[in-house]
Amino acid sequence: MNTFFFIGTLILFAIVVLVIFNLLKIFVLSKLNVNKWIVLALAIISFIISLFGGTLNNYFTLIFSGIFLIFMMWFIDLMQYNSNSKKEKKIKIKPKAKPNRIKHTKNKN
């Protein structure tokens, strides 16, 4: 019975974190321009806090694990967004038309 409670809590936690991330992404995160490395640093800090703070309370660990997951998903989203925005238009160099070339080739023959 304890195993089913743990699995149910884990599934509920995953659903809640995904819903919160999607809502934040739509309303808040898309409007912020933050360096992706700052987001990664915040994710690492929240991961370390959840590791060492886990002895205090299980809810404390769940909250900081959720914050870590949100920061990690935001970092991955920023990585994907930045890779698409760096594609620039390729400039084709076209040679100039030289109208006098035809006149010179007629004189040589």
Q: Supply the pLDDT for residue 14.
A: 93
Parts of the chain with a pLDDT under 70: 54-56, 82-88, 99-109
Name the H helices within the chain. 2-27, 36-52, 58-85, 100-108
Full domain range(s) for residue 89: 2-108
Q: What is the pTM of this model?
A: 0.70
Convert the pLDDT of each residue in 26-39 to its tens digit: 999 888 888 999 99
Single-letter residue type at 105: T
The tokens of 101 are what?
Answer: 């070339």
Distance CA 84, CA 39 (A): 19
* Number of domain units in the chain: 1
